[in-house]
DNA sequence: GAGCTTACCGGTAATCATTACCAACTACCA
DNA sequence: TGGTAGTTGGTAATGATTACCGGTAAGCTC
């Protein structure tokens, strides 16, 4: 556990790119953005930082329909369990928590005798802005 | 829409392999099993059939933690919306339906003004058998 | 600030699941 | 039985993610 974390500009760049994005982005997206901003980051570095951010718990991951991993900065809320409502058009994301769902999941699992239950719950839709903009 | 479905032994083999398995299996798994049974199926063929079974609605797909696609035969129940409680040890799967969750999902989405809402809900745990067997 | 140690970078090669191709094959209908 | 078009399966191609590894620079000490 003696992981000496060194703070580098690349690390900050990746974190900021995700934070300002506000939604779920793929590693390749982040890489493209950073490259577009003129910065010179390596693809390996992007993947590396995304992974450690996930380990730290400040970033959430979900796999899209293609199985591609997408990351989202969830900062402080990272320590408590929550889910997402993602706009499938623009990627905008709302954090939601479902007391009800948590309870339900626990009950269902118990009924079937399953232990050590974990769950994934994600909602996808079209956000107000996108709904207004296009039809 | 003039899709003439021809019935071939390979198609049946893939379907049966999934059906008798009872849980979520990756394409590679199915391929390995079919190969192990002495049958000679092509990897392409396996992927092709899995995909069409998904399109037919008799097979469900979810991506595991590695982003790898896993398929499960859900047969008749395939036409109505349901979720799964998967044993992360042996892959055994129970079908569950959550009236409560559906309602909750709809409400949350409405509150945020999201339209065309869809959702994914999967529960993972350790089934009774596996709990008994090891610990 | 100079020097050192070592974590970190980033380009490239390797891995792996999934898809695209395409020539050989065969289910199905007349 | 013959013809035709959907199907097969081996192989090459694609695309995301990871492994390597020599070079670079953050943070500490003096």
Q: How many CB atoms lie within 10 A of CB B17?
A: 22
Nearest protein residue by Cα to C1' of nucleotide C27? B6
Size of interface A-B (CB pairs under 8 A): 107
Question: Residue A98's pLDDT band (boundaries 50, 70, 90)?
Answer: confident
- CB of A40 lies under 7 Å from some atom of strand D: no
Q: How far is the CA of A26 from the C1' of D16 (A)?
A: 10
- CB of A28 lies under 7 Å from some atom of strand C: no
Partners of B101 on chain A (C-beta within 8 Å) are 101, 104, 121
Same domain? B37 vs B95: no
Same domain? B33 vs B67: yes
User: For residue B55, is pLDDT > 50?
Assistant: yes
Same domain? B91 vs B70: no
CA neighbor of A71 nearest in space, from A31, A25, A130: A25
Same domain? A75 vs A85: no
Domains in chain A: how many in total? 2
3-state secondary structure chain B: CCCCCCCCHHHHHHHHHHHHHCECEEHHHHHHHHHHCCCCCCHHHHHHHHHHHHHHCCEEEEECCCCCEEEEECHHHHHCCCEEEEECCCCEEEEECCHHHHHHHHHHHHHCCCEEEEEEEEEEEECHHHHHHCC
| Higher per-residue pLDDT: A101 or A75 | A101
Residue A60 neighbours by CB under 8 Å, 6+ apart:
A54, A71, A72, A74, A78, A84
In angstroms, rounded to a whole number, what is the distance separating the alpha carbons of residues A85 and A92? 8
Shortest CA gap B84–chain A (Å): 10
User: For residue A43, is pLDDT > 90?
Assistant: yes
Single residue among A36, A58, A79 that ends a domain in this structure:
A79
Residue among B87, B94, B108 whose CB faces A96 most closely: B108
User: For residue B1, is pLDDT > 50?
Assistant: no
- What does the block give as tokens for A127? 């956000």
CB contact under 8 A, B104 and A98: yes
Same domain? B68 vs B132: no
For position A87, what pLDDT does the model report? Answer: 93
- Average pLDDT in the A103-126 region? 94
User: For residue B9, is pLDDT > 90?
Assistant: yes
For position B96, what pLDDT does the model report? Answer: 93
- CB of A28 lies under 7 Å from some atom of strand D: yes
In angstroms, rounded to a whole number, what is the distance separating the alpha carbons of residues B64 and A76? 26
For position B78, what pLDDT does the model report? Answer: 61
Question: Residue A26's pLDDT band (boundaries 50, 70, 90)?
Answer: very high
Same domain? A75 vs A100: no
For position A1, what pLDDT does the model report? Answer: 46
Residue-range definition of the domain harbouring residue B93: 81-135
- Average pLDDT in the A121-129 region? 94
User: For residue B60, is pLDDT > 90?
Assistant: yes
Single residue among B38, B55, B79 that ends a domain in this structure:
B79
**Nucleotides on strand D with an atom closer than 7 A to protein CB?**
5-11, 16-20, 25-27
Residues in A 86-115 whose C-beta is less than 7 A from nucleic strand D are none
Is B1 part of the contact surface with chain A (CB cutoff 8 Å)?
Answer: no
Same domain? B3 vs B59: yes
Same domain? B85 vs B66: no
- Average pLDDT in the B5-17 region? 94
Same domain? B7 vs B59: yes
Identify the CATH number of the domain in which residue A125 sits: 3.30.1490.190
Q: Write out pLDDT tens, residues B68-111.
A: 999 999 987 767 889 999 998 888 999 998 888 999 999 999 99
Same domain? A110 vs A66: no
Question: Residue A135's pLDDT band (boundaries 50, 70, 90)?
Answer: low
Same domain? B118 vs B57: no
Q: Write out pLDDT tens, residues B13-46.
A: 999 999 999 899 999 999 999 999 888 899 999 9
Same domain? B63 vs B91: no
Partners of A125 on chain B (C-beta within 8 Å) are 109, 114-118
Question: Residue A3's pLDDT band (boundaries 50, 70, 90)?
Answer: low
Using DSSP's 3-state secondary structure scheme, residue A66 falls into: coil
Identify the CATH number of the domain in which residue A54 sits: 1.10.10.10
In angstroms, rounded to a whole number, what is the distance separating the alpha carbons of residues B132 and B88? 14
For position B3, what pLDDT does the model report? Answer: 54
Q: How far is the CA of A132 from the C1' of D15 (A)?
A: 34
Torsion angles phi and psi, residue A38, rounded to 5: 90, -20
CA neighbor of B16 nearest in space, from B2, B40, B33: B33
């Amino acid at each position: 556990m003696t992981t000496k974390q060194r703070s580098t500009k690349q690390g900050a760049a990746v974190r900021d790119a995700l934070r300002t994005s506000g939604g779920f982005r793929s590693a390749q997206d982040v890489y493209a953005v950073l490259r577009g901003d003129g910065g010179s980051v390596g693809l390996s570095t992007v993947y590396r930082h995304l992974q450690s951010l996930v380990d730290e718990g400040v970033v959430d991951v979900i796999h899209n329909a293609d199985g591609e991993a997408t990351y989202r900065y969830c900062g402080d809320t990272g320590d408590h369990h929550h889910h997402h409502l993602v706009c499938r058009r623009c990627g905008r994301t709302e954090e939601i928590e479902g007391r009800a769902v948590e309870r339900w999941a626990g009950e269902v699992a118990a009924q079937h005798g399953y232990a050590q239950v974990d769950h994934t719950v994600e909602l996808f839709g079209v956000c107000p802005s996108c709904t207004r903009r296009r039809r």
